[in-house]
């Protein structure tokens, strides 16, 4: 836990200190990818046994596995999933991008066409928790975009099974191609293919540092959504904010793992004092106290500012994954927030509302990448192609200009391509 006062440069110094790379992880992942490329299923099987403590003959989830999960499903939870699906679909349908076409006065045609990516893999984390919500958040925008082949992968437990709630969520969305595999080995198998796993065109979904590094290394062979780091939350709180709410919301992200990063930015010493008190109390009462204590002790950064303007500047520098505005008039500063993955306005919009229910996607940019990245959406599952059909009349009118442009860049064959038609 660290407390600093806002001043120009202090946050940049903090971020420089925080920015480290783990060369050991990079090397381990590279070796795994190389093995999968050469030995395919054999290496995938070996790494699954090594990291997930289970030897699997077949990686694909069977219809029997799915039916068993469905037979054991809690009906109330299934109803919750169905309602969440409605909310998430409603929001993401608003993101659909239309093609366009324009005909000039000289009968030339220019336009843009939209094509869904053909085959996409969705990585659903396992390990410390199960994430059926991530199934919804990854599958729904891909389906709205029109992706034909959607593959879901998730690490198996030591019984060789994927969590039932993940399978139920996948079934509700009619996802049938599911594989029991995780880690860097799964990313490599999806990127390069094996005898039993057909390679994909894009991989999306969060994972641990090995999954993240693997996505970084296979980018170019396949597309990826983003390089996601540990989860983050930043809370801007004025003197009227409720410190119990602040503490609860900081812990809501800290429980993801020990590396999660919580930030509190406030003008109030009383808020800082009370929030610390409730953090200590709530951690001691929690079922996940060990993870929470490590995250809070090692990563919590509290920034004391003098005014609202400094709070906004701080947030824009840190560019958090989740940003909560616990101030009197949050909508009044919305346009001043330039860098954030998802923004939660007011005391009744805590981050879990976005994780599960409201509709916006919870796969978000981390590690300051909200400066240039966006949440996962329908636009991540489409390709945009421009097209041109010039009329002879318009070509003749503009050929000389195009030719001179090419000659200026000393690209003589570009110029000749135009000249051949112009003369």
CATH code where residue 323 lies: 3.40.50.1980
Instruction: Give the phi and the psi of residue 191 in degrees, each rounded to 5.
Output: -75, -40
Last residue in a domain, options 352, 370, 404: 352
Q: Is 272 found in the same domain as 145?
A: no
In a domain, 368, yes or no: no
Q: Is 240 found in the same domain as 203?
A: no
Regions of the chain with pLDDT less than 70: 8-9, 18-21, 127-128
Q: Is 170 found in the same domain as 310?
A: no
Q: Is 235 found in the same domain as 198?
A: no
Residues 135 and 166: beta-carbon distance below 8 Å: yes
Q: Is 237 found in the same domain as 187?
A: no
In a domain, 374, yes or no: no
Question: Do β-strands 382-389 and 301-304 pair in parallel, antiparallel, or remain unpaired?
Answer: unpaired
CA dist 168 and 74 (Å) reads: 10
What contacts 69, CB < 8 A, 6 or more positions away? 164, 167, 168, 171
- Global confidence as pTM: 0.91
Tell me the residue range of the domain where 396 lies: 392-422
Residues 131 and 120: beta-carbon distance below 8 Å: no
CA end-to-end span of the chain, whole Å? Answer: 74
Q: Is 61 found in the same domain as 179?
A: yes
| Active-site annotation, residues | 321-322
Helix (H, G, I), strand (E, B) or coil at 175: coil
Q: Is 405 found in the same domain as 343?
A: no
Res 19: pLDDT: 63
Radius of gyration of the chain (CA): 25
The number of distinct structural domains making up the chain is 3
Residue 302: beta bridge partners? 3, 264
Q: Is 285 found in the same domain as 207?
A: no
Res 97: pLDDT: 87
Q: Is 246 found in the same domain as 153?
A: no
In a domain, 173, yes or no: yes
Residue appearing with tokens 């229910």: 357
Residues 327 and 238: beta-carbon distance below 8 Å: yes
Q: Is 112 found in the same domain as 148?
A: yes
Q: Is 318 found in the same domain as 248?
A: yes
419: left (phi over 0), alpha (psi -120 to 50) or beta: alpha
Q: Is 183 found in the same domain as 284?
A: no
Residues 132 and 355: beta-carbon distance below 8 Å: no
Res 8: pLDDT: 57
Res 1: pLDDT: 76
What contacts 409, CB < 8 A, 6 or more positions away? none
Residue appearing with tokens 């904010």: 241
What Å distances lie between residue 417 and 388, 392, 399, 412, CA to CA?
16, 15, 10, 9
Last residue in a domain, options 191, 224, 257: 224
Last residue in a domain, options 190, 224, 258: 224
In a domain, 364, yes or no: no
């Amino acid at each position: 836990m660290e407390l600093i006062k806002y001043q120009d440069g202090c946050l940049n110094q903090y971020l420089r200190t925080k920015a480290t790379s783990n060369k050991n992880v990079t090397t381990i992942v590279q070796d795994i990818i190389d093995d999968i490329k050469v030995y395919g299923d054999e290496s995938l099987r070996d790494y699954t046994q090594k990291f997930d403590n289970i030897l699997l003959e077949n990686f694909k989830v069977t219809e029997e596995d799915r039916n068993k999960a469905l037979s054991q499903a809690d009906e109330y939870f299934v109803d919750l999933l169905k309602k969440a699906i409605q909310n998430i679909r409603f929001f993401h349908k608003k993101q659909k991008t239309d093609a366009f076409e324009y005909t000039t006065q000289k009968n030339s045609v220019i336009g843009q066409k939209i094509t869904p990516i053909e085959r996409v893999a969705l990585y659903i984390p396992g390990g410390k928790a199960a994430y059926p919500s991530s199934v919804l958040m990854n599958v729904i925008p891909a389906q709205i975009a029109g992706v034909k082949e959607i593959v879901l992968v998730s690490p198996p437990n030591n019984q060789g099974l994927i969590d039932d709630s993940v399978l139920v969520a996948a079934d509700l969305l009619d996802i049938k191609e599911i594989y029991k595999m995780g880690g860097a080995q799964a990313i490599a198998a999806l990127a390069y293919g094996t005898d039993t796993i057909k390679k994909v065109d894009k991989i999306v979904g969060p994972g641990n540092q090995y999954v993240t590094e693997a996505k970084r290394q296979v980018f170019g062979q396949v597309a990826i959504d983003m390089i996601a780091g540990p989860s983050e939350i930043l809370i801007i709180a004025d003197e009227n904010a409720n410190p119990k709410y602040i503490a609860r919301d900081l812990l809501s992200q800290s429980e993801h793992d020990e590396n999660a990063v919580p930030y509190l930015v406030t003008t109030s010493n009383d808020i800082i004092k009370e929030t610390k008190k409730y953090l200590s109390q709530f951690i001691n009462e929690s079922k996940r106290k060990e993870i929470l204590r490590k995250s809070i002790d090692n990563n919590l950064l509290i920034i004391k500012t003098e005014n609202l303007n400094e709070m906004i500047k701080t947030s824009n520098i840190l560019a958090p994954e989740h940003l909560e505005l616990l101030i009197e008039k949050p909508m009044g500063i919305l346009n001043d927030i330039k860098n954030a993955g998802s923004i939660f306005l007011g005391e009744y919009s805590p981050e879990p509302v976005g994780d599960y229910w409201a509709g916006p996607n919870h796969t978000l940019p981390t590690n300051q990448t909200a400066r240039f990245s966006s949440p996962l959406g329908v636009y991540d599952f489409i390709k945009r192609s421009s097209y041109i059909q010039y009329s002879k009349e318009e070509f003749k009118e503009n050929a000389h200009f195009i030719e001179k442009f090419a000659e200026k860049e000393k690209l003589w064959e570009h110029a000749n391509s135009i000249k051949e038609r112009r003369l």
